[in-house]
Chain A
Amino acid sequence: MDSSLMIAGKQFKSRFFLGTGKFKNKKDLKDSIEASGVEIVTVALRRIDLEHHEDNIVDYIPKNVTLLTNTSGARNAQEAVRIASLAKASGHGNWVKIEVINDSKYLLPDNAETIKATEILAAEGFVVLPYMYPDLYAAQALMKAGAATIMPLGSLIGSNRGLKTREFIKILIDEIDLPVVVDAGIGAPSQAAEAMESGADAVLANTAVATAGNPALLAKAFAWAVEAGHLAYLSQLSGQKNLATPSSPLTGFLYDIPAKN
């Protein structure tokens, strides 16, 4: 069964996306990419430190992996557009994850500014994957604005609390004709599998992997969970029931069942 993911005409075998922040060292990152087989990783753009030179992260990401630059640090659409334009000028493609955040306590995305940025960047030919709060009207506006996917949050960034927004993400899965990539707050492979079982097209994790004792091992576990969850979704899982239903036949017993009065 073909289980590949299509985004903006590009085909991906892996439905697991990895964020590259917070890794203790770049070797852990490289090992995690290799162990999980991810084909899309997110990166950020920052001013270089003029006093302390660091290795460039791009050197640790295999060439066949698509770089998805986030616009973290942007507080409005205009700043997100500037960051995306800088990323494009690097020559590493034109895939951008719009991330517009005003609030430093909850790090919630500003959907209105995200829609504006998506509209501008999609018109300029960027492949736009907006990080968003799972709201149906915002998702419809993002689709109309030219988004290539939508990336609704599962729970707060870095919280590892899983799919707290499950019912609202399910609405987006059912109603929006774009790949749905569940992003943020996914803290364990079981949570990633749950998102995929409910019909999400992909899952992004970062903090959980980067801060694990063995990041590469957890990255692999995430990749397997995402794949397992997707296969389960394709299998058309049967629903839950309130009472027991026997798995074995109810006839041909080796002893007599007393008749009910």
Chain B
Amino acid sequence: MKVTINGTMKELTNSSCLSDIVSQFCKQPKNIITEVNGHIITSNDWNHTSIKEGDQIELVAFVGGG
């Protein structure tokens, strides 16, 4: 299944929910914020947010800034 994560096309195997994607790509999931197709998904809903072909996923986190 092909999805776009942070602007990059990724081929996923066995990933069916957002929670799997967060664990695969994020070292510390606790401060990650996610968006799927422009909708913010809070961590409570990661387990029951299914991911399908062509989804646009954003994984963002806090960084230093002024």
Contacts and interface: CB of A to CB of B under 8 A. Distances in A.
Nearest to A71: B65
B30 to A, nearest CB: 8
A90 B41 CA distance: 10
A56 B66 contact: no
B40 A43 contact: no
Contacts of A58: 31, 62
B27 interface: yes
A157 B66 CA distance: 9
User: Which of B59, B62, B65, B66 has its CB near the most chain A CB atoms (within 10 A)?
Assistant: B66
Interface footprint category on A: 35 or more
Interface string A33-72: 0000000001111111010011111110000000101101
B7 A53 contact: no
Given A50-B5, A85-B40, A89-B33, A45 B66 contact: no
Interface string A158-196: 100000000000000000000000001000000000000
B66 A21 contact: yes
A45 B63 contact: yes
A206 interface: yes
Nearest to A22: B64
Interface string B29-66: 01111010000101000000000000000111111111
Given A50-B6, A85-B40, A86-B40, A45 B61 contact: yes
Nearest to A29: B64
A18 to B, nearest CB: 9
A56 B61 contact: yes
A48 B66 contact: no
B14 interface: no
A44 B64 CA distance: 6
B12 interface: no
A87 interface: yes
A23 interface: yes
Contact of A45 (B5, B7, B26, B33): B33
B40 A45 contact: no
B28 A57 contact: no
B58 A56 contact: no
Contacts of A42: 65-66
B50 to A, nearest CB: 19
Nearest to A86: B33
Q: Which 6 A-B residue pairs are closest in the complex by CB-CB distance?
A: A44-B65, A19-B66, A206-B66, A53-B27, A20-B64, A47-B6
7 contacts: A23-B64, A45-B62, A46-B61, A53-B27, A56-B30, A184-B66, A204-B66
Given A43-B62, A47-B60, 7 more contacts: A43-B65, A47-B6, A48-B61, A56-B28, A58-B31, A158-B66, A206-B66
